[in-house]
A and B are shown apart, each in its own frame.
Chain A
C-alpha cells in the first residue's frame, strides 16, 4: 500500500500526511484533557515520549511484535497519566499547568540519562513499521471513538466539568474521578502517537519531546477550538503544514506562533471552529421528537 502510494505521491507530501495523522492522534488526546475537560496540560509531549521510548525499546531490544510494542507504549503513557493525575488533578488552572510542565521535564531528563534509550544521543534504527495505512486507520478509529465518547454520559460530564465544576458536582458528577479518566485516556493517545512517531521517524531523542512540542500540541487544540473534534483536526493540519511552509524562516517560527495566537485570541477567542454552532445546523434538521443526533461541538 505504502509502496503503491509513494509511486503516485511525492514522498515529501507523504511524509507530511503521516505527520498530520500522528499529530491528529496526539492532539485529540490533549483535546480530551484540555479542550473538553478544561484541565490545562502543558506536558503532553512527556506522555508522548513515554510511548515512543517504551515501544521503541520493546521492539528493538526485546523483539516484541510491532503492534504489541505500540499498545504497550500507549498503556505505559496511560499508566503514568493515571498515577500522576490522581494527585495533580486536584490542583486548579495555573498550578496544574506548572505541574504538567515539571513532570514532562522530569521525563525528558530521565531519558537524557537512560542507558537503554541511548541517553542524549537517543535511539536510532527503530524499525519503520508505521505505515500510511496504519496511521490513517488509527486516526479514523480514534476520531470515531472520540466522537462517540463526547456524545455520551461521560463526554457530557467532561464538558460540564470544564463549564462549571460546582454545578457538575451538584449533578452527581465525581469530578476528580472523571478528570483522572480524561487524563488517562488523553495520555493513552499521547503514548499511541509517540509509538507511531518513533516507528516512523527511525530515530528519537529526548529533545524531540520537550516543552516546545507540548506547546505545539496545545496550539493545535487552541487554534482549532477547545473541545471540538473537527477544530482539533483542523488545528493539527494547519500547524503541521505551517512550519513546513515557514521552513525558510525557521528562526522566526516561535515569533510567528506567538503572533498567531495573539491574533486568534483577539478575533476568535474560542478557536477557529470552537464557536461554530453545530446546533444551528442541526436545528434545521431537527424534527419534533429528536431520536438520534450528535452532541455539542
Chain B
C-alpha cells in the first residue's frame, strides 16, 4: 500500500515550471530513489512534501493526511523527517543538542514543565538523552557529541543530519543527496546505515542522490525526473535499460 502519494504535482516559480504533473506512489518500507539531472526538480519535490512550498497544482497524500496546506512543523509532527542538500545544522549547538532538538516534534513538555522541571519533563528529558545517545552511536558520532556541529567534517555533518531527522521517530525519511561530498568509504558506510535504518526501524525512505552506484544498489524503486517531468519509474534494472533515461541522464554520466 502506498504510504506517500503524489498526484499530478505541478510547481511554478514565476514563469518556470519546476515540476509538471508528477505522479509518484511510495510503498511502505520501500527505499525509493529519485534521480535526474541538476535542476530537474528533485529538491523542489522534497520541499513540497515537507510543506516548505505549496504546490501550484496536484495533491500530496501521506497516509490519510492531505499535506498540501500543512505547515512544515506540522508535517514533521505527523512523521516525516528530512535532511537538506545544503546542510542545515544548528551550527553553534553541540552535536548532542542538534539531535535533541530533532526530537522536539515528538516531545510534550510545555512552558511550566520546562521552567520548573516538573516530573513529566524530567522523565521526558531522560528518555530523550537515551534515544539521542543511541542515535549518535548508530551514525558513529557518539565520541563527538560535545563538539559544535560546525566543527564536524562534511561527511559527519551529513550523518548528523540523518541522526537529527531520526530523532523525530519518522515513518517516512527524506534524504536529499546524503552522499554528496563523501569519499567512497563513507559512501559504503552510508549505504549500510540507510539499509540498517530501514530494516531495524521499519520506515520508508525517499532518496535523492546523484551517485548511481549507491542508488542502483540500495533502491527498490526509482523515479527519474527531467525538466520537472517524470520520464521513467521502475526497478533499478528497468531504469538502467530505459532508453529515455540513458539519453537524458545516465548517458551523460557514463
Contacts and interface: CB of A to CB of B under 8 A. Distances in A.
A34 B125 CA distance: 25
A173 B105 contact: yes
Interface centre among A159, A172, A181 (most CB of B within 10 A): A172
Interface residues of A, number: 36
A244 interface: no
Contact of B101 (A148, A168, A291): A168
Given A152-B109, A181-B111, A170 B82 contact: yes
A163 B93 contact: yes
Nearest to A274: B92
Contacts of A171: 73, 76, 101-105, 164, 167-168
Interface stretch (A2-10, A19-27, A281-289): A281-289
Contacts of A291: 129
Contacts of A170: 50, 72-73, 76, 81-82, 84, 88, 165
Interface centre among A153, A164, A173 (most CB of B within 10 A): A153
Contacts of B107: 153
Contacts of A277: 148
B254 interface: no
A184 to B, nearest CB: 10
Interface centre among A171, A173, A289, A296 (most CB of B within 10 A): A171
Interface string B78-119: 000110100011111110010011111111011101111100
B88 A166 contact: yes
Interface of B: 50, 52, 71-73, 76-77, 81-82, 84, 88-94, 97, 100-107, 109-111, 113-117, 121, 124-125, 128-129, 133, 146-148, 164-165, 167-168
11 contacts: A148-B117, A149-B114, A152-B113, A152-B114, A154-B109, A163-B90, A167-B89, A170-B50, A173-B73, A279-B94, A279-B147
Given A152-B114, A167-B84, 17 more contacts: A152-B115, A153-B107, A153-B114, A156-B100, A159-B101, A160-B101, A166-B84, A167-B164, A170-B50, A170-B73, A170-B165, A171-B76, A172-B73, A173-B104, A173-B105, A185-B111, A279-B94
